[in-house]
Every structure is written in structure tokens, then in C-alpha cells.
Amino acid sequence: MNLVFAIGETVYDIIFDHDEPKAARAGGAMLNTAVSLGRKGLNVEMITELGNDRIGEMVLNFLRENGVSTSFTRPVKGFKTPVSLAFLDEQGNAHYSFYKNYPRERLNISWPSPASGDVVLFGSYYSLDPAVHSKIAGFIRSAKEAGALIVYDPNIRKNHLAEIRRLMPHLEENMALANIVRGSDEDFENLFGLNAGEMVFERLNQLSCKNLIYTCSDKGAEVFTEKIRFHVPAKKTEVISTIGAGDSFNAGIIYGLVKKGLTCVDLSQISEGDWKEIINDGIEFAAEVCGSYENYIKRQR
């Protein structure tokens, strides 16, 4: 059975609502996606950095309990697993304070060898960080050459905007490596100053990426390919927290692709009907997560 590889930062989220702590969860964008996929029964491998500490141990146990393999994750002695404080506003959106202190040597692991039909998800500032970017990009390049389907989520937060111009070559390299870019309207306005999906798609075409999923919060999602362009409305839901919404949307997209047995070679031939089913999987996953303090979909019975 094909594998899904998720590469990204792990943080331990402590969630506050009205300045009261409400939950503590293993977090990080790619981890959130990996857990949702593990709960749906997919074969998932999480590649991340953890400290050899109590929180790191908690995260490893949590991943394994939720069907996510950690074969390539090696806890590092003397490194404390990052923690984030997430303060929810009235709309359920989070404002973060991060506490992290990475070691000098990063991602010193034996990297896996993806195969044709596998899926690789990466993104966020973590994939741009000069300390690890070349290692991640090298792995992504090898995975793409092997026939894996590459999904990239820029997931750029405002606190990183000052660094974006310096890191733009890394960002463009990531997008050029991706078969599918999934990003929010806020991401692309922050990155390129563009506020319409059509303009973002034109920009991605210049980087040779031919498939864009453009999400617009409660307005839904748009899909742009070489042959298809359409919009799917969001699902109305009572929002408690949006922390894992985009990550769960990504999980739904990957779940939909895997469920249909679609690979990178099939992307140019996917029908509008199939794309809509895939997008609806993403919307369902995101809506479920927005209604709780969880960062991932519910455990499957």
C-alpha cells in the first residue's frame, strides 16, 4: 500500500480561549494533517524534529496511537520540544507565541525512499528555514523523480513576513517542486500581494506548478488546473477554533486523492466531478475540526 510522508515542525499547542487554558495538543501543520490521515487508516510517516524530553515522548506516543509511523524521527538529546501558546479570538482564529530553541545540527536522519504512487506533504516556514531547507528540498526532489505526488502548503504566518523576501528563492523552489499547491487567500496576499485565485494561478504557472487549490476561509475553495476552474462553497459550522482547519483540509484532499487511487500522472486527467468530490472531502474534514479544540478529525470507530 502506498505511503503518505508528512514533513514539518512539531510544536506542543497550549490553547487559550478568553485567556483561559482550554486544551493542550500535539501540533504543527504537517503533524495535524498526518494525525487526521492516520485516523482514517492511511499509511502515514511523520518526519519531524523532537527533543528527548517528556513532551517529545508524549508526541511520539500520540502519533503512534493514531496510526502515524515515526520510523525516521530521532529525538535529539539536549533539545526541548517546541511549545506554542495559541490565543483564540472571537472568531476562533489563533494568535501565537512560540517557544523554541533548535540545536545546531538539524534533521540528521536516514531519509526514506518514496516510490511511485506515494504522496509527500510539506510546507510552512519550516520548509523555508535555511537550517533544513536544502535537506527537505533534496528529499522532495528525489521523491518527485521517483513518481511521488508532491503537495505543498506555504502556510505563512504574519510574523514571518519580514523574512519572506530573503527566503523567496526557497519558496519558489518549493512551489516549482510541487504537483499541487494548496494555500489560503491570506497566504498569497502575504507572499505575492495577490488577492485573486486567477492571479495566483498565473504566478504559479510561471514556476511550472499546474494545480492550485485556493482556499478562502468561510467562502470555500477554488480549484485551478490547466483544464478546470471552479468554486466550492464552504460548509456552515459553528466555529470554536480554526487552528487545525487548513491542515485538516489538506488531510481531506490527500485522503480523497488516495481513496480514488490518483497519482501525479493522473492530475491532468482528473474530471471536474472527481475534483469536486476531493475538495468536498477537504471541506468536511475542516468543518469537523473547526467545531472543537482538536487539531485533527475525530478518531474513527
Please report the pLDDT score of residue 32 as a whole number: 97
Domain borders along the chain are: 4-8+28-50+109-290
Please report the pLDDT score of residue 172 as a whole number: 96
At the topology level, CATH places domain 4-8+28-50+109-290 in UDP-N-acetylmuramoyl-L-alanine:D-glutamate ligase (3.40.1190)
Tell me which residue has cell 521517483: 146
Instruction: Render pLDDT for 126-143 as a digit per residue (tens, 0 to 9).
Output: 999 999 999 999 999 999
Q: Are 270 and 261 in contact (CB under 8 A)?
A: no
Please report the pLDDT score of residue 185 as a whole number: 95
Please report the pLDDT score of residue 1 as a whole number: 58
Q: Nearest 5 degrees, angle CA 259-CA 268-CA 31?
A: 45
Instruction: Judge whether residue 160 has pLDDT over 80.
Output: no
Q: Are 83 and 14 in contact (CB under 8 A)?
A: yes
Instruction: Judge whether residue 243 has pLDDT over 80.
Output: yes
Please report the pLDDT score of residue 284 as a whole number: 96
Instruction: Judge whether residue 248 has pLDDT over 80.
Output: yes
Instruction: Render pLDDT for 86-128 as a digit per residue (tens, 0 to 9).
Output: 999 998 888 889 999 998 889 999 999 999 999 999 999 999 9
Strand partners, 123: 153
Determine what percent of the chain is predicted with pLDDT higher than 70.
99
Q: Which DSSP string corresponds to 40-97?
A: TT--EEEE---BSSHHHHHHHHHHHHTTEE-TT---BTT-PPPEEEEEE-TTS-EEEE
Instruction: Render pLDDT for 7-46 as a digit per residue (tens, 0 to 9).
Output: 999 999 999 999 999 999 999 999 999 999 999 999 999 9
Instruction: Render pLDDT for 191-226 as a digit per residue (tens, 0 to 9).
Output: 999 999 999 999 999 999 999 999 998 899 999 999
